[in-house]
Amino acid sequence: MYICKVMEDHYRFLGDAEPTDEQLEMLMREVAEEAIKRRELADIKFQQQLSYELKLAKENYKKLVAKTA
């Protein structure tokens, strides 16, 4: 019995036997590590998008103020 990673983010137990506690622990550790990496990447992308949107809003505000002045 062993664990096989099938495609990204999908795991499958192969064989008829139940996984051991060690195998389950290893799987949970691996899944947690992947989740942390994905969260960190999502946080970076979000901050980049937020900065971009803020920059656009400031530019649009400056243009609007310039037109009314």
pLDDT in single tens digits along all 69 residues of the chain: 455 555 566 666 677 778 889 988 999 999 999 999 999 999 999 999 999 999 999 999 999 999 887
**pTM beyond 0.75:** no
Contact 9, 34 (CB under 8 A): yes
List Cα–Cα distances, 29 to 19, 21, 25, in angstroms.
Answer: 15, 12, 6
Residue 12, beta-bridge partner list: 4
Give yes or no for a contact between 11 and 5, defined as CB atoms under 8 angstroms apart. yes
Encode pLDDT of 25-35 as tens digits.
Answer: 999 999 999 99
Q: What does the pLDDT read at residue 68? A: 85
Instruction: Report the amino acid identity of residue 58.
Output: K
